[in-house]
Amino acid sequence: MKTTVGILGASGETGQSIVNGLFEAGNFKIIALTRPSSISKPANQALAARGIELRPCDLSSTQEHLVNALQGVEILISAIVATEQLAQIPLASAAKAAGVKRFLPCAFVPVIPAGGISLLRDHKEIVYNHVKQLGLPYTILDVGWWYQLCVRKLPSGRTDYAVLNPDERIPGDGNVPSALTDLRDIGRYAAKVIADDRTLNKNVLVYNEMWSPLQIVEHWEKISGEKLERTFVSETELKKTIESCGDDMDMQTLMVKIPAQYLISWGIRGDNQPEYAKYLGYVTSKELYPQFEPRKFEDYTQEVLDGKAPQVYEELKAKFAEMMKK
């Protein structure tokens, strides 16, 4: 019997990786939980073409609607957009009522302690605390920093198509290592984690390799033969940026405040490291799955240089570009 997994946000970047990972594993039945108004969208129809059930699920609807949407779902994975984290609170309550056996709320970020370092993380923690108050079985799955966010713009323009993160400032002295993961490996990890009793009611960090910002810059120079500028940014400067933003989870927060908070967290504080994760109570993929073969960062960067890397977040990049013009 295949385990039934419901995925919220299955058509998003992380959601698609999870779908692909579960398909590759072959022992899961997948249900894509989507807004009724979005079922006919091409991304969801592409899921349906792969044999995935599309089930209406409106987080703003009644508890009865949500409980009905979760009928038969054994494992629930949420990969919703960053601005809607708190919408998972009624979802978690419905999951408890529907008898869901394990809930993965939307984590999928670097390791960051709660309490004022990251607004996004603190929103997620509100959801996690609600899950624990319900007594709902859970797994918090964090994934480090994506390879796809480490593409540097080259003078030749060869990497322009794949540049997802336009902020190329180097935090601090640039020597703090951080856990990196290929977006495409997240689903492969997830397939293992949700089938593993050792990860129940645990925080898990999955990651591929450790790289510092300066090592990343030097690597791009090495494989491209091009010279890159190094622009450093201090914690003081980043805090000024953070203080200039409000606390609303809007586009400015998403594109300005949260990235600055990330730079302080993983680039200066060094939060996104397995040793610190273990201190916080995480278990890591290196401990759980020593035989797992992740994609190498060097292979990914060569893929980008060769013009063969899949593009991600095209719509979000367009919104950011438009915002920067204003």
Cα 194 from Cα 286, distance rounded (Å): 16
Interstrand relation of 53-56 and 28-34 (parallel, antiparallel or unpaired) = parallel
**Residues forming a β-bridge with 8:** 33, 78
The answer to whether the CB of 239 falls within 8 A of the CB of 227 is: no
Q: H or E element: which one contains 239?
A: helix 235-243
CA distance linking residue 20 with residue 183, whole number of Å: 11
- Rounded distance, CA 193 to CA 170, Å? 33
| Bridge partners for 233 per DSSP | 171
Coil vs helix vs strand at 143: coil
What is the secondary structure of 197-226 as a DSSP string?
GGGTTEEEE--SEEE-HHHHHHHHHHHH--
326 is catalytic: no
Q: Which of the residues 2, 41, 124, 325 is marked catalytic?
A: 124
Instruction: Read off the tokens for 207.
Output: 């990651």
Q: At what angle do helices 88-98 and 119-134 cross, to 10 degrees?
A: 20
Q: Are 57 and 80 in contact (CB under 8 A)?
A: no
| Helix/strand number for the chain, H first, E second | 14, 13
Residue 317, burial from CB neighbour count under 10 angstroms (0-12, 13-18, 19+): middle
Neighbouring C-beta atoms of residue 201, cutoff 10 Å: 13
Mind telling me the catalytic residues? 124
